[in-house]
Amino acid sequence: MPIGYGGNSMFIETPFDYDAYTAMCQENFSLTPDYDWALRYFGGFDIYKDWMHVTNIIFSNGELDPWRAGGLNDDVFLDDSSIALYIEAGAHHLDLRAPNDADPATVTAARDTEMSYIKKWIAEYNSVN
């Protein structure tokens, strides 16, 4: 997974060099990385279309999460059963941690959205059984 860090990261700024990484892989492993494989295999080029088949899943990514490049980075609401939340000022899994007075309002709002969807899905399940 290509990893680079920008100037706003908690890590030392290190841009990812595709050419150097490709050359290293070819030299050491006689392989050429397929950088778009995960997007083709799992979807993600068109998040509104590619994720329509999933249900009762919440994808959340924080603006300050170093792994957000590999996630869904837009708010997406599909037929009330799958959502993606992009949380401004959110960090890695901050929305899944216990609430804290220092949490940004965007994280509190994301938690509220997540809880409302989960409660709705549980109620729907319980009404069928």
Task: Parse the chain into domains and list their residue ranges.
Answer: 1-35, 43-128
Torsion region of 56: left, alpha or beta (phi above 0 gives left; psi -120 to 50 gives alpha): left
Q: Rounded to whole angstroms, how far apart are CA atoms 44 and 14?
A: 25
Exposed/middle/buried for 127, CB within 10 Å: 0-12, 13-18, 19+? exposed
82-127: per-residue pLDDT in tens? 788 889 999 989 999 999 999 999 999 999 999 999 999 999 999 9
pLDDT of residue 129: 67
pLDDT of residue 1: 67
74/19: higher pLDDT: 19
Strand partners, 76: 84
pLDDT of residue 8: 81
Give the confidence band of 78 by pLDDT, cuts at 50, 70, 90: confident
pLDDT of residue 110: 94
Q: Rounded to whole angstroms, how far apart are CA atoms 60 and 73?
A: 8
Q: What percent of the chain has pLDDT over 70?
A: 98
113/38: higher pLDDT: 113
Torsion region of 5: left, alpha or beta (phi above 0 gives left; psi -120 to 50 gives alpha): beta
Single pTM value for the model: 0.68
